[in-house]
Amino acid sequence: MRILVTGGAGFIGSAVVRHLVREVGAEVLTFDKLTYAGNLANLTEIGNLPNHQFLKADICDADAVREAFQTFRPDRVYHLAAESHVDRSITGAADFVQTNVLGTFTLLEAARGYWSGLDPAAKAAFRFLHVSTDEVYGSLGPDGLFTETTPYDPSSPYSASKAASDHLVVAWGRTYGLPVLVSNCSNNYGPYHFPEKLIPLTILNALHGKKLPVYGNGSNIRDWLYVEDHARALHLIASEGRLNETYNVGGRNERSNIEVVRVVCGILDELAPKSFPHSDLITFVADRPGHDARYAIDATKLETELNWRAQENFETGIRKTVEWYLANEAWWRPLRDKVYAGERLGLLATADR
């Protein structure tokens, strides 16, 4: 089996690539532009294995995408390449529209051209899995869960761009018959997570004795999914999911942001103690614009149709995550020193009056 993975040097993408190369034994081409969040160090564990190839290229480059299809001849595409940080989308929306919308269009057209030329058996076996987010659904109230039929109601430039890409993929399935599937996941966490996101930012700031910023009063709730559980789910969806269907992937681990930060602090108090509790570093800061109150995924369809279960709950997954960052300073130190030092992102400039 030959699988083209876009965004395979990113956080979730690299977990997918590692799973496919080591556990599945697939031949994998990682296609990644290597923006600030793409990191070849994420693939060190499998980088020299004979069933893995890497191509530095942009999904918006139609020639590069077409050449990858014609040269590698994939049986499947797992599309994870995306700009993904909400805060960065607030002040730099153009990159999100370019990559997430136009890049997905470019990839779909290349996939359609390639797929149309396959022999009947290969054409029937081909799959295009588009990996998206629960943020396309907007904000939940205190009750209820996102299902695959929840109407889209995106709040940020990031979620709007992902919603647009979801619609494109579904349309290419309906209009052209391209064999597509869509997944929408809850918040991922785990090893190799770029330090701008809540959990790794909290871990690294706490290690350095820096303030731990929490937006608003910390009451925003997310459903947390261990990234390796997500990787297994994605391959299962592509292998056994019904064509032209959407599958929600969630960990059934709802936690408020302040709960998450306090749990991380407690584990660090145990594993890397300071002269004071790490929770003393918690600092509440102005909320970000359009901050959705609550996300929660109903993964019943995935669990019942495909018999998927998360292997990690939040307690086991978050401990593994903290332990990984403590043991892998060689991975995160260059990122903190040269790429992102933990500064606040997504702040709107105040107009002069």
Which residues are tagged catalytic? Answer: 134-135, 158
Q: Which helix (H) or strand (E) holds 234?
A: helix 227-240
Residue with tokens 């690539």: 17
Calpha distance 7→48 (Å, rounded): 18
| Cα separation, 211 vs 280, whole angstroms | 9
CA separation for the pair 7, 13 (Å, rounded): 6
* H/E element, 320: helix 314-327
Which residues, in sequence order, are CB contacts of 74 under 8 Å at separation 6+? 2, 3, 4, 29
Q: For residue 133, give Cα distances in angstroms to 80, 164, 204, 298.
A: 11, 12, 25, 13
Check: CB of residue 7 under 8 Å from CB of residue 43: no
Crossing angle of helices 104-116/157-176, nearest 10°?
Answer: 20
Determine contact, residues 185/134, Cβ cutoff 8 Å: yes
The sheet that has 221-226: what strands, in order across it?
187-189, 221-226, 254-256
Sheet hosting strand 127-133, strand order edge to edge: 52-56, 27-32, 2-6, 76-79, 127-133, 180-185, 246-249
